[in-house]
Amino acid sequence: MFKILPLFLFSLFLLSCGNEASKKGEEDSTTTSVATDDDASRVGYSNYAVIWTWTTENVQLVYDNSVEVANELTELWKKGVVENAYYDSESKEERLEYFPNIAFFILAPSAENAGIILDELTIVRKGIATYSLHPVGQLWLGRNEDVVRKYGITKSFVTIWTTRDGAKPSPELIQTQNDEMLELWNKGAVENVYFDFEGTHSNNSKTDFVFFVNADSEQAARSICNALPFTKENLATYKIKEAGVFWMGQYKNR
């Protein structure tokens, strides 16, 4: 699912760092509590994973537009439209020269609205890349920055889960799954959990849940996933892909 777009991340990273140094209350990369609906700007909105594919091999075209692309994405982040981005500078897939891969989520009232926002970006208008949108439900757990730091510096792996056709987990099993996810989150082993609560009970277009695992290797990340109740009871399957390093979360005071 996550064929993640390489972008000129270095320019964007510098711009973001500059903003953080000059302003207060920027990035909510230290989320230490369960996400709620207290923020009125989120009511009625859904989260979508943005999946990008290169449509050019012209490195100069990407380079020439990198600052503009960076500015546009940074503005979307500052408005709270884009959140929870990761970058992978060591990706061996869909790599274009030295451009790292990034992954992020977009918050919008509908897929159509998200598409309108993305279609206005330079990266789309100039034929640098195309995208697809995948609804992932609501953000349940953010990133517990202090705990993750104590957990140790590791790689992050994105895991995309789908409940098996016909699977009907009991309320008790769902609660057990949620309790174990909370325990992992409190240890810093998982972060940025998007959960479609409805999807675990009925077939719909959403991916049932997506979360990031912090581990030293894919094998270690799989061990964490394989120990979850939904996996052990063969109720859900998952795909896993290295996402690299956490970059930016949510922008405060928008």
Helices 9-22 and 59-78: angle between axes, nearest 10 degrees: 30
Contact (CB, 8 A) for 60 and 128? no
Contact (CB, 8 A) for 129 and 235? no
Listed residues 110, 137, 164: the one ending a domain? 137
Give burial (CB, 10 Å; 0-12/13-18/19+) of 21: exposed
Q: Kindly report the number of other CB atoms within 10 A of residue 38's CB atom.
A: 7
Whether residue 113 sits in one domain with residue 63: yes
Listed residues 107, 137, 167: the one ending a domain? 137
Q: Kindly report the number of other CB atoms within 10 A of residue 68's CB atom.
A: 14
How much is the pTM? 0.78
- The total domain count for the chain is 2
Whether residue 20 sits in one domain with residue 126: yes
Whether residue 97 sits in one domain with residue 152: no
Residue 71 lies in a domain: yes
State mean pLDDT over 181-189.
Answer: 96
The residue with greater pLDDT, 209 or 126, is: 126
Listed residues 105, 120, 137: the one ending a domain? 137
Whether residue 74 sits in one domain with residue 177: no
Contact (CB, 8 A) for 139 and 35? yes
- pLDDT tens, position by position, 11-44: 444 444 444 434 444 444 444 444 444 454 567 7
Whether residue 167 sits in one domain with residue 57: no
- pLDDT tens, position by position, 127-166: 998 888 888 888 999 998 889 988 887 899 999 998 888 8
Domain that holds residue 202: 139-245
- pLDDT tens, position by position, 50-101: 877 778 889 999 889 988 988 999 999 999 999 999 887 777 766 667 777 7
pLDDT at residue 200 is higher than 80 = no
Residue reference for tokens 């992992």: 184
Model pLDDT, residue 228:
98
Model pLDDT, residue 102:
76
Whether residue 147 sits in one domain with residue 121: no
Measure the CA–CA gap between 1 and 233, rounded to whole angstroms: 23
Model pLDDT, residue 21:
37
Measure the CA–CA gap between 53 and 37, rounded to whole angstroms: 32
Model pLDDT, residue 52:
77
Whether residue 130 sits in one domain with residue 158: no
Residue 32 lies in a domain: no
Average pLDDT of the chain to the nearest whole number:
80
